[in-house]
Structure 1
Amino acid sequence: MENLKHFLLALCAATAAGLVSIIFVFRWVLYFKEGLAWDGGLAEFNWHPVLIVTGFIFLQGIAMVAVFDFHNAANIPNMYSLHSWLGLTAVILYGLQLVLGVGMYLIPVTPASWRAAFMPLHVYSGLLLFTSVIAVALMGITEKLIFGLKDPKYKDSPPEAIFVNVLGVLLVLFGGLILWIATRTSWKRPSDQILHSLHTNGGGEDNSKVASALSQLPDGSDAYGAGDARKRSNKSDEQAN
């Protein structure tokens, strides 16, 4: 990997921003709000921002359950805000992304050509969903401050408002660092090395080996370049023989 030290520095910075964001969101609901509970009261709603920040992948379903249950207990309409629309859309698209990813890359019978063709869309969709969830989280915490702060109001910049604004900045910083790391070409696995390894391990690689190699490529466009490299390598071998 090129610039390994820079990569590790960026990765550590992103991890630190994410961990501090989790600390901030817990501090917010435990210190400024009513804490955490599951009784239909205000404390139950606080699970929503906590789980959105800490459980984008594993706990996001429970976060949706918490906010719907709170709204139902408080007789508040569901799905009326842009935050709720985009949040539910992100959850649905994430589930679709997961299903398609499993179908394409974990089922052995899927043709390698399909996997290579789907990879650019799979990578783009993942980055888009990650960015969208951060945007939805920012909308949600701002909405909560506007509706929740009465005296003083959000516009008066009380300590809670400033604290949560810093949380929003940390989330943007975390997202920006992750996107920068994920899109750095010099930090992607070189596809030529993967194809060279398969070639030297036995020549005619079968579909499962090619699929395994493609599953390691971070960008589907490299798969086509790797195919050209394999053709050139085979042609060179024929000429040498």
Structure 2
Amino acid sequence: MEKRAQFLLALSAAAAAAFVAVVFVLRWVLHFREGLAWDGGPAEFNWHPVLIVIGFVVLQGIAIIVYRLPWTWQCSKLLMKFIHAGLNLLAFILAVISMVAVFDFHNFAKIPNMYSLHSWLGLAVVVLYGLQLVLGVGMYLIPVAPVSWKAAFMPLHVYSGLSLFITVIAVALMGITEKLIFGLSNPKYKDSPPEALFVNVLGVLLVVFGGLILWIATRTSWKRPSDQVLHALHTSAGGEDNTKVGPALSQLSEGNDAESSSDVRRRGNKLGDEAE
């Protein structure tokens, strides 16, 4: 129960940080900037930070930890794969729309494209994210890849996903700073006007959210158990209330797929006895 409480505390803190970050980015563009529109002007550019925060940061973060939610463990692994892929696809679509908004604004205002480090890394991470999405769907949702390929690709898939998430937050922070430096003239960014302080807090919220997501995603005791273990637990529980097994489930690792059937049965019987 202690591990479950720790998980819920981390999850609640991440959800709160995400919610406040979305509120802050909307408040920024609607109150301090020109609002939202699709007319080639500054209001169209404002879609860029809004969609990046909502899609590329928050939705991607949710997609990363969706397997860790204990109340989803009764769902099939295939369904969770579709949810994971769907969230990532939606995040990718929002990121692409945000990029279109930037290029439209730059072209309309006769501002050069792709001249800053923020733009270089931003475009690179969108392309790599799309590649990660295609490879993930091809490897784990389309039933053609051999099991050995899936097992070999999984560490790279996990590492790439976390690396892209970290990079997205870093690039977002670069973009926030760049926008404040270029957008604030009287007073300037260095004079710490209210907008600068407000948006700096937004950056801190993104870092906090990212750190919490990484913490949740890297705790092995919070991983979704393998389908074999879940099946053994439900079978050995003999119809007992699943909430009794829940605390024990939270201590199992998703990496148990490679366990032998005898190990699965032994662990299932042990947890079943504890649940009674």
TM-score, normalised on structure 1?
Answer: 0.82
Aligned to 1:82: 117
Q: Which residue of 2 aligns with 1:194?
A: 228
Deviations 1:22-77 (A, max 9, x none): 00000001111111111111111111111111121141110000000000000111
CA contact (8 A) 1:189 1:218 kept: yes
**Match 1:134 to one of 166, 169, 172:** 169
Residue 174 of structure 1 corresponds to which residue in structure 2?
A: 209
Deviations 1:101-120 (A, max 9, x none): 01110111211111111111
Cα distance in 1 for partners of 2:139, 2:99 equals 28
Change (3 A) 1:138 1:18: same
Amino acid at match of 2:141: L
- Aligned equivalent of 1:116: 151
CA distance in 1, matches of 2:20, 2:253: 28
Secondary structure of the residue aligned to 2:38 is: coil
Alignment gaps of 5+ in structure 1: 202-216, 237-241
Moved more, 55-64 or 91-100: 55-64
Residue 37 of structure 1 corresponds to: 37
Residue in 1 that maps onto 2:182: 147
Note if contact 2:220-2:253 (Cα within 8 Å) is conserved in structure 1.
no
> 1:2 offset after TM fit, Å?
6.5
Provide the rounded CA distance (Å) in 2 between the counterparts of 1:55 and 1:49: 10
Contact 1:83 1:136 in 2 (8 A): yes
Q: Deviations over 1:105-141 (max 9, x none)?
A: 0111211111111111101111111111111110001
The 5 Å alignment of 1:1-241 reads 3-56=3-56, 57=91, 58-191=93-226, 194=228, 197=231, 222=255, 226-227=257-258, 229-230=259-260
Distance 1:167-1:218 versus aligned 2 partners, 3 A rule: farther
Kindly report the root-mean-square deviation, in angstroms, between the aligned alpha carbons of the 2 structures: 2.4
Could you tell me how far 1:190 is from its partner in structure 2? 3.6
Per-residue CA distance 1:186-217 (angstroms, 9 max, x = gap):
101244x725837x99xxxxxxxxxxxxxxx9
Q: What 5-or-longer segments of structure 2 have no aligned partner?
A: 57-90, 236-251, 267-276
Say if 1:161 and 1:233 are closer, same or farther in 2 by CA, change over 3 A: closer
Determine the C-alpha separation between the residues in 1 that align with 2:191 and 2:160: 39
Contact 2:17/2:206 (8 A) holds in 1: yes
Identity %: 73
Rate the CA distance shift 1:196–1:154 in 2: closer, same or farther, 3 A.
closer
| Amino acid of the structure 2 residue aligned with 1:194 | Q
Q: Distance in 2 between the 1:196 and 1:16 partners?
A: 30
Distance in 1 (alpha carbons) for counterparts of 2:203 and 2:209: 10
Q: Give the Cα separation in 1 of the matches to 2:36 and 2:230.
A: 54
Q: Which runs of 4+ in 1 moved over 2 A?
A: 193-198, 231-234
Question: CA shift at 1:83, angstroms?
Answer: 0.4
Distance change >3 Å, CA 61–CA 7, structure 1 → 2 = same
Residue of structure 1 in register with 2:87 after alignment: none
Q: Which has the larger radius of gyration?
A: 1
218 and 91 in structure 1: CA distance in 2 versus 1, 3 angstrom threshold: farther
Q: Check conservation: 1:22, 1:54, Cα contact below 8 A.
A: yes
Distance 1:13 1:166 in 2: 16
How big is the shift at 1:232?
Answer: 6.3
Please report how far the alpha carbon of residue 6 of structure 1 lies from its aligned counterpart in structure 2 after TM superposition: 1.0
* Greater CA drift, 167-176 or 53-62: 53-62
